[in-house]
Amino acid sequence: MGIGDALTAVNWLAVLAATAAAFTLGALWYSKVLFGTAWMQEVGLSDESIAKINMRPVLAGTAMLQFVAATALAAFLGTGSTWLTGLQSGLTIGICWIATAYGVTYLFELRSLRLFRINAGYYVVSFAVMATIIGAWH
């Protein structure tokens, strides 16, 4: 099946739901309720520096990129997936592709294991959630 066929078969409501879930998870993950304080320390941000940022383009860009990721994930999973195969695929993608790519980059950039756990952890959970939603919604 080509990419055009795969995109034709995409359930766009599932993609939107997965996008919203990943966006919401990111808001919680990087908030001070979970890992926001540690993340800010690791990347050298302060409440003052964040207050100066125009968040509208950051949030819009994030939503758009999450939508692209969810769309590619839906095309990759295809129409034969279930919530379980979605979960398994999302965890595999998050751990074996995304976290390892972060790991290589973080090793060369001499970034901390703490920051790796925060950022890679978000993507492992995010892709597991998105793929579970997409896989279940057929």
70 contact partners, CB below 8 Å, separation of at least 6? 15, 16, 18, 19, 22, 130, 134
- What integer pLDDT is reported at residue 1 of this predicted model? 60
5: pLDDT strictly greater than 70: no
Domain that holds residue 50: 3-136
- What integer pLDDT is reported at residue 6 of this predicted model? 66
- Cα gap 106→114, rounded to integer Å: 11
pLDDT confidence bin for 8, thresholds 50/70/90: confident
pTM: 0.92
Number of structural domains in the chain = 1
